[in-house]
Amino acid sequence: MTNEPGRGVHDMGGLPAGPVKPNEHDYAMWERQVDALMVLLINKSRRVITVDELRRGIEGLGAGAYDRLSYYERWIASITQILIEKGVITNDELGRRMEAVKARFEGTT
Full 3-state SS string of the chain? CCCCCCCCCCCCCCCCCCCCCCCCCCCCHHHHHHHHHHHHHHCCCCCCCCHHHHHHHHHCCCHHHHHHCCHHHHHHHHHHHHHHHCCCCCHHHHHHHHHHHHHHHHCCC
Task: Supply the pLDDT for residue 1.
Answer: 45
Give the residue-averaged pLDDT of 43-52.
93
**pLDDT tens digit string along 28-41?**
999 999 999 999 99
Give residue 12's pLDDT band: very low, low, confident or very high (50, 70, 90): low
- Is the confidence at residue 8, as pLDDT, over 80? no
**What is the pTM (predicted TM-score) of this model?**
0.75
Give residue 69's pLDDT band: very low, low, confident or very high (50, 70, 90): very high
| Domains along the chain with CATH numbers | 29-106 (1.10.472.20)
Q: Which residue has the higher pLDDT, 84 or 18?
A: 84
